[in-house]
Amino acid sequence: MKVPMKIIAFNGSPRKNWNTAMLLEKALEGAASEGAETELIHLYDLNYKGCISCFACKTKDGKSYGRCAVKDELTPVLKRAGEADSIVFGSPIYFGTATGHSRSFMERLLFPYSTYTEPPGTLFSRKIHTGFIYTMNVSEEMMRERGFDRQIAITEETLTRIFKAPSETFYSFDTYQFEDYSKVFAIRFNPEKKAKRRAEVFPRDCEKAFEMGARFARARG
């Protein structure tokens, strides 16, 4: 009997039912439609810190070589991530990059696998597909003007190197940030235009996220 793929999505947004989470859920729906087992983990539910530079994961013949030695609520999650057949990350853009919780998680997940060799390599033993869904309150043009895409490209390159397969990046631009724009001071935004884009464009983004998950479920190893 064929064992179903296991695809895990990590929500790096503090909100569990807004843009990023919704797109991740759609990606998992797509994966499930192809028979995959899925799991969504909200990183803000967990109490953890980023890498503490103990270098236990780099110590020769050490008991934690190649894996994070820090014990906290992220520890079992890192183990599950290492056993997954595919991973989808998601985060809103805060000041040009992923959220702090997302970055801390990536440090803890990726650094133990990364080797100090020339060129840099990986200790991850398998090839798995990964993707990163970014949501942001700016247009694609503004993203590139402000250089957000350069940081995103570094993350994509790192995921490709660590997990030995091309990583896929998906953007959802000019997202609907507030449930009620009349209650916040945000005069740079036009609520009507935001609502129109939410109604017309975001559903298409959800369809694309669904397709991403379905592709990942079909692309084992």
**Is 1 within the bounds of a domain?**
no
3-class state of residue 131 by DSSP: strand
CATH assignment of the domain containing 17: 3.40.50.360
**Is 19 within the bounds of a domain?**
yes
User: Can you give the pTM of this predicted structure?
Assistant: 0.92
138-181 pLDDT per residue, tens:
889 999 999 999 999 999 999 999 999 999 999 999 998 988 88
Provide the residue-wise pLDDT of the chain in tens; the chain has 221 residues. Answer: 566 789 999 999 999 999 999 999 999 999 999 999 999 999 999 999 999 999 999 999 889 999 999 999 999 999 999 999 999 999 999 998 999 999 999 999 999 999 999 999 999 999 999 999 999 998 899 999 999 999 999 999 999 999 999 999 999 999 989 888 888 898 888 889 989 989 999 999 999 999 999 999 988 65
Burial class (CB in 10 A: 0-12, 13-18, 19+), 141: exposed
**Is 103 within the bounds of a domain?**
yes
**Is 173 within the bounds of a domain?**
yes
Strands 168-172 and 129-135: parallel
Q: What distance in Å separates the CA atoms of residue 106 and residue 151, rounded to the nearest whole number?
A: 13
Nearest to 165 by CA among 216, 93, 101, 111: 216
Instruction: List b or e across 187-198, with b for residues whose CB sees 16 or more CB atoms inside 10 angstroms.
Output: eeeeeeebeebe
Q: Which domain holds residue 29?
A: 6-218
**Is 40 within the bounds of a domain?**
yes
Nearest to 152 by CA among 98, 94, 206: 98
- Return the pLDDT at 179: 85
CB atoms under 10 Å from CB of 8, counted, come to 21
Q: Which residues touch 208 (CB under 8 Å, ≥6 apart)?
A: 170
Instruction: List b or e across 100-136, with b for residues whose CB sees 16 or more CB atoms inside 10 angstroms.
Output: ebbbbbbbbbbbbbbeeeeeeebebeeebbbbbbbbb
Q: How many domains would you assign to the chain?
A: 1
**Is 183 within the bounds of a domain?**
yes
